[in-house]
Amino acid sequence: MLEKELITSEILALWNAWEGKLTSLPEHLITSRRNSQNRTIKQITGHLIDSTANNIMRAIHLQNLTSPLDFPNYATFGNNDRWIAIQNYQEEDWQAMIQHLRFSLLHLCHVIHNIDESKLDNQWITGPDRFITLVEMINFFLPHFKLHLSEIEELLKD
């Protein structure tokens, strides 16, 4: 089951609670403290930008192409770390990153609101003998978002 209103309102509430906090963080803090994956706050934020963008694309493809969908999984085999490195989020303008994430999340919420519910069981092939439905993918985004916000929260405690 996809509870569009619940998911999108929680995504937006989290963002509203975090945007000001992120905006006010000093450069030395966002570029020096590292989590267990050796990511800085800037890199975690960059990963959230990538995750949001990839989920938008998956949601569109899962409604448009034949299921099961064979679409690259950017998060396997360390690829998400390569994405972070290739885009060099560590050197990206922080305020631009915050705005990019903001508008990406707003657009993701728009996409979620407009999902064709007859396509919710369409599947994406995530690996050998591994499938995720559109509804599972959308439902997983919120816990994923919360996980990375909690990682940032932990780095702010030090």
Cis peptide leading into 68, omega within 30 of 0?
yes
Name the residue ranges covered by the structural domains of the chain: 4-157
Provide the H-helix boundaries in the chain: 4-23, 27-32, 41-64, 79-87, 94-113, 134-157
Phi and psi at residue 92, to the nearest 5°: -70, 150
Whole-prediction pTM: 0.94
**Topology adopted by domain 4-157:** Four Helix Bundle (Hemerythrin (Met), subunit A) (1.20.120)
pLDDT tens for the chain, 158 residues: list them: 889 999 999 999 999 999 999 999 999 999 999 998 899 999 999 999 999 999 999 999 999 999 998 888 777 766 888 999 999 999 999 999 999 999 999 999 999 999 999 999 999 998 888 899 999 999 999 999 999 999 999 999 96
